[in-house]
Amino acid sequence: MRYTTEREHAVRTTEHLKRWDVLEPGGGALSRRLDDGNILMACTGLSFRWWDVTVDDFIVLDPDGDIVEQTGALGASGTPVHLALYREFPACHGIVHAHSPHALAFASLGAEIPSVTNQLDTLGTIACASADDLVVKQRVAREGSRHPIPPGIVQGPGPYAVNMEIVPQILDTLRPRAAELDRHGLGFTIYRHGLMAIGRTLDEAANNAHRIESGARAAILQATLAGGLSQVRTNPLYA
């Protein structure tokens, strides 16, 4: 097995993210760029195993999603977003995706997470990217996929098309802030889905994921203390 040190680090990072309630059984993924430019990516299905992971549970992909070293399952379904971020931002070397509940509450509204803590000020307001999953998947069922799926990624054409709909929004949002990656990471959420945090290292991405989640929790608690939430709707952008 290659990349043993990096695989062990990814396992330890997974344990930290579980301990601090960022990774939970609803889903998620983590990845890092390796020194040779390849990507170490969490395999699909780990959340269903309660994130009890070993070094085998990460796949090595090249930047286009072809398999370099496979020791378990294929790459998680969000892999296309990870690969797009690594392609766009050379300073990005780590990514964490999580379905943590407080960030997900904002994402369920398609709402930005405001920075109400000094910790989150570093990342600023956390924007939300969105796609109407149902419409995209119906289009793919009708017309077929416009995108070939790389061999290292587990995915049907519908979910892959949803990822491809979201990627340009994320890149447009983060591109003007690319220079900030020299100093710290960045983050965003995906509508009704979860958060993504990027960093100069996997450790920084993990720290940023926790910043976003704890910042979202503080904002919700602040709203509660200040008089409550006005409305909660199930699919506010597209229903």
Minimum CB distance to Zn ion, residue 14 (Å)? 15
Minimum CB distance to Zn ion, residue 41 (Å)? 13
What gap in Å lies between CA 134 and CA 229, rounded to an integer?
A: 28
What gap in Å lies between CA 199 and CA 213, rounded to an integer?
A: 15
- Stretches 21-29, 43-51, 162-170, 203-211: which one binds Zn ion (CB under 5 A)? 21-29
Judge whether 47 and 30 are in contact, CB under 8 Å.
no
Minimum CB distance to Zn ion, residue 105 (Å)? 15
- Per DSSP, the residues of 178-193 read GGGGGT--EEEEETTT
What gap in Å lies between CA 203 and CA 187, rounded to an integer?
A: 14
What gap in Å lies between CA 91 and CA 85, rounded to an integer?
A: 10
- Stretches 24-32, 39-47, 109-117, 146-154: which one binds Zn ion (CB under 5 A)? 24-32
Binding mask 188-207 vs Zn ion (x if CB under 5 A, - otherwise)? ------x-------------
For 57, 158, 190, the CA distances from 132, given in Å and listed in that order, are: 31, 12, 11
Q: Is 9 helix (H, G, I), strand (E, B) or coil?
A: helix
Q: Which residue is nearest to Zn ion (CB)?
A: 27
Beta carbon nearer to Zn ion, 27 or 236: 27
Beta carbon nearer to Zn ion, 29 or 140: 29
Consecutive H or E run containing 121: helix 118-121
Q: Does 45 bind Zn ion (CB under 5 A)?
A: no
Question: Which structure tokens are listed for 150?
Answer: 């790389």
Site for Zn ion in 206-225 (CB under 5 A): none
Minimum CB distance to Zn ion, residue 29 (Å)? 7
- Binds Zn ion (CB under 5 A): choice among 9, 11, 18, 27: 27
Minimum CB distance to Zn ion, residue 13 (Å)? 17
**Residues contributing to the site for Zn ion (CB under 5 A):** 27, 194
